[in-house]
Amino acid sequence: MKIGLRIEVSSVRGIRRGVPQLMEMLKAIGAGATFLFALGPDRSGWFAGRMLSTRIDGRWRPFGAIRRYGIGALLAGPLLPAEDLFEAYAGLMRAVRDEGFEVGVLAHDHVAWRRRASRADAEWTRDEMEHARQRFEVVFGEPPRVGGAAGWQVNRYSLRLTQRLGLDYASDTRGQGPFIPVWQAEIVACPQLPVTLPTLEELNADMPVDAAVARLAQLTVRPPATGHVYAASADLEGISLSRPFEQVLQKWLGQGYEVGSLKRYAEELPAGDLPRHEIAREELVPRFGKLAVQGREFLA
């Protein structure tokens, strides 16, 4: 039984504080993970309005959101300089790889991707993904083998590029299990490893955090044949939600799961026999807007 752990790193706060704490936590319990890096400017503050309207324990709590995300993240971009993660933190990114964790690409400018990707044209999509790939190669000396779309935002061109850029697999969607993606009858030969579990942040929008921990453990009591994928954030599970996240990890280990990288998760999948599913777009409360999700099985 496996749980693939996908960790997004998209802010200065996340890479400076969250990443070291997550590495220490994971090594202490013998777990692995895949760290997906944004490789451009930290413009997190452009989402300040959304962050401030985040529900916590079923209520709108703007000051709680400030404690959760940090004032720096809320101001980064509009009022504070947008520090470039590639230029300032390449050494820390390499340290993650050198500690034995899988590394991959989240985006170049993660805020621009979240805002534009779902309706972007081929040129903009290619430029953003190529820029991220080139920067990844500079940092790690080799091209990325795994990627995950920021905000679960995709389009026809980004899915094609997962194949053309040589990714072994991607985690761009939410869903029920691994599949070969299909976009309007076009089959993309890059397996999707969708996130199958709600996040602590999503659950905590409607229940206290202790209840959210219990709920995640309840959802994994009966494992599906292909296991699960969980999406963590260096800003949340690495800092403000680190203690409840560690509790979740311990519960999963107690249930007999191996928590590891997406590579480890994918190793035992029947790569040549995965089902084909269409990509759909759906709202997922309390997330904003529509996300890419695993749709109906193609030609089923």
Residue closest to 236 by CA, chosen among 14, 61, 12, 3: 14
The residue ranges of every structural domain in the chain are 2-297
CA angle 31, 39, 169 (to 5 degrees): 55
Residue pLDDT tens, the chain, 300 long: 899 999 999 998 999 999 999 999 999 999 999 999 999 998 876 565 555 455 555 554 444 555 555 555 565 555 566 789 999 999 999 999 999 999 999 999 998 999 999 999 999 999 999 999 999 999 999 999 999 999 999 999 999 999 999 999 999 999 999 999 999 999 999 999 999 999 999 999 889 999 999 999 999 999 888 999 999 999 999 999 999 999 999 999 999 999 999 999 999 888 678 999 999 999 887 777 899 999 999 986
Please state which of the four CATH numbers 3.40.640.10, 3.30.2310.20, 3.20.20.370, 3.30.450.260 is assigned to the domain occupying 2-297.
Answer: 3.20.20.370
Residue with tokens 């790939």: 133
Could you count the other beta carbons within 10 Å of the beta carbon of residue 112? 18
In Å, how far from its chain's centre is CA 123? Answer: 24
Q: What is the pTM of this model?
A: 0.92
* DSSP assignment string, 189-228: SS-B--B-S--HHHHHTTS-HHHHHHHHHHHTSS--TT-E
